[in-house]
Amino acid sequence: MSRSNRLGIVVTTLVSAIVIASCSQQTHRGLTYPKTAKVDQVDEYHGVKVADPYRWLEDVDSPETAAWVQAQNEVTLPYLEQLPAREKIEARLTKLWNYEKYGTPSKKGGRYFFSKNDGLQNQSVIYTMDSIDGEPRVLLDPNTLSEDGTVAFSGGSVSKDGKLFAYGISVAGSDWQEYRVREVGTGNDLSDHIQWVKFSGVSWTKANKGFFYSRYDEPAEGEELKSQNYYHKLYYHKLGTPQAQDKLIYERPDKKDWMFGGNVTDDGFYLIISLGRSDTRNNAVFYRSLAIKDAPVVELLSEFDAQYSFIDNDGPVFWFRTDADAPKGRVIAVDLRKPERKNWRVVIPEAVETLRSVGVLNNMFVASYLKDAQTVVRIYNLDGKHVRDVAFPGLGSAGGFGGKRRDKETFYSFTSFNAPTTIYRYDMVTGESTVFKRPKVDYNPDDFVSKQVFYTSKDGTRVPMFITHKKDIKLDGNNPTYLYGYGGFNVTLTPYFSVSNLVWMEMGGVYAMPNIRGGGEYGKAWHEAGQKLEKQNVFDDFIAAGEWLIANEYTRPEKLAIGGGSNGGLLVGACMNQRPDLFAAAVPAVGVMDMLRFHKFTIGHAWVSDYGSVEDEAEFHALYAYSPLHNLDKGTEYPATLITTADHDDRVFPAHSFKYAAALQEAQAGDAPVLIRIETKAGHGAGKPTTKRIEESADVRAFLAQNLGMDASALDDSQRQ
């Protein structure tokens, strides 16, 4: 079967011919693009008239858009298929990808639960064990839910007694989830079926008779993947009853953009409700007593003045991680009997490092910090006294440390750029780490070196960057280099292992990842320095990273590529618009490209907190100044560009990429290709089957190799190891 068929391109040739024949075509270096039809659409913002000639591509379900998608893929897929390096790259990716991958275990009711992928399974399988040394038993295998692996496990929660498993699935990468309940002992599903869940997990009551979850109203037919997500609601579902009888716990009809998450405290006495809204990354926290029937919801922290993350409670004393009066985070105690701010008690003061998360295990706080984007974990007693640090095998990223207050063991993962994720068991009493599962990958980690450098951005800000490559490269300015970034929403980029990047480096490439502003690596101030009116700092930081790599003879513009996804796709689009001379290739993935209309679709309104709003005049001008769609200059020689998106992406609406691709193809003056790869039966990225991940990675690396002049012959040696 051809790759075109595997992508599921099904549109009638007749419709395609009609649409394409009505437009002239453009040819660049042997590629003939369909010239996308334009409409006379002009919007006015604060007195500024803005044309939007590709507005019709926002109707992603229309026959015309479907024909356009087919026409674009009929250009892109043959180009990618014939790239000389692609076959070798895909073969090496497949070989390396084929290793066991374990998730971090959790423990409930004396049983252990974890995920595992044998290597090339499309979806990881959920297992359970009676003891740490017990025989694993399959609890849920998502690979049996669809023939092509596009139905994915999207989240789950085990009841407190370990007997029931509420699990969510999503179809074709959509953010929409539906939940069912499985008996752990028998593997049988109960009758419970919960639909239209989004941006929510489930949280069981102490008695295991039901759980809390959040959902939206069912969208109109045909609008599931594009309608705006407003009026989130928090419900309680009682086992054995239909969803129509679920009890509404909290809603705000007067605040359509508010979102709610409900979690039951470990002692089972309280429901903690975290509230978010579109215009700020701060949140509020309410609670409801579960010990009193029909108790009211109490507004505990209602000002949206900071971020508050509930940790645990000691009766009526609640512990929170917060950046209130502490930009890098601290732990405070709030007593429900005297909750006024003046009575808050600092348990763990703000440190030099950034506090990212806190849990309570064995009656001790486990606090995870970032020190220059690398994980440091410290253990404190409940009075805030430092007990010890967790010893890691090197510099990298650690995650996990889940569990309950009296647990004496926990598990964590550790990874770095040249070390695959290893799972450790941690003894909370002795502080000893032991390997639970260590993967075996077909490569030699000693062949690679990773380091962190610091460079200066345009305004003098010092920015860290990780650089990883084979040990034997020469700093002569000729190394193909892939510069990857994100820079937004308080998201942190920390060291991680990637088969795709490993293959890139085996081919002689350099992988560089800067921790630019907009992320959370250095706390609230670092995040806010890349928000709204300050967003240009993010692009300046990324451009400065490329300039540093060139100045220090890692690479040169003809060998430098950039990539990023989602908000990182925006980053790539903005930077290649602003400095097309600096980069030879660009891969904006599932990007936010239309900064004047991002709020019009699905959950886009929630991004106003980071981007700002076109309703505000100053913020409109800032958005308009860098919006990738609106800042293309016709007649400019842009880098070779491979835009990637998916038809089921209901996080970043695919029309962002559609419109940007059409505009960039029209604007391109040079010979470098401008292509869009549109995956079908896939979404924003979560739950994407392994087969699709390998295909896309092979396409991207082959595209970069072709347009940076890379020789893939090194992979011949790699595959003989």
**DSSP letter, residue 138:** E
Please name which of 201, 197, 202, 254 lies closest in space to residue 229, comparing C-alpha atoms. 197
Separation between Cα atoms, residue 89 and residue 512, nearest integer Å: 20
By the 10 Å C-beta count (0-12 exposed, 13-18 middle, 19+ buried), 61 is classed as exposed
Runs of H (alpha helix) within 529-597: 536-551, 567-578
Cβ atoms of 485 and 567 closer than 8 Å: no
List of residues 6+ apart from 551 with CB closer than 8 A: none
684 in catalytic set: yes
Residues forming beta bridges with residue 507, ordered by sequence position:
none
Runs of H (alpha helix) within 429-566: 499-506, 524-528, 536-551
Residues forming beta bridges with residue 321, ordered by sequence position:
309, 331
Please name which of 564, 578, 566, 493 lies closest in space to residue 536, comparing C-alpha atoms. 578
Cα 319 to Cα 287, 300, 363: the distances in Å are: 13, 13, 13
Four-residue CA torsion sign, 697, 701, 706, 707 = positive
Catalytic residue among 609, 627, 684, 697: 684
Separation between Cα atoms, residue 259 and residue 273, nearest integer Å: 10
Please name which of 454, 458, 486 lies closest in space to residue 467, comparing C-alpha atoms. 454
What's the helix, strand, coil split of the chain in %, to 5?
A: 25, 35, 40
Cβ atoms of 203 and 264 closer than 8 Å: yes
Please name which of 693, 567, 681, 697 lies closest in space to residue 170, comparing C-alpha atoms. 681
Backbone angles phi, psi at 131, to 5 degrees: -150, 170
Catalytic residue among 157, 566, 657, 697: 566
Cα 157 to Cα 126, 263, 420, 563, 682: the distances in Å are: 12, 11, 26, 34, 25
Separation between Cα atoms, residue 104 and residue 115, nearest integer Å: 7
Separation between Cα atoms, residue 692 and residue 361, nearest integer Å: 39
Cα 564 to Cα 26, 56, 80: the distances in Å are: 27, 26, 20
Residue type, 641: T
Please name which of 403, 390, 389, 385 lies closest in space to residue 347, comparing C-alpha atoms. 385
566 in catalytic set: yes
Cα 173 to Cα 249, 655, 686: the distances in Å are: 29, 16, 6
Residues forming beta bridges with residue 364, ordered by sequence position:
361, 381
* C-alpha atoms less than 13 angstroms from C-alpha of 304 in its C-beta half-sphere: 11
Active site residues: 566, 684
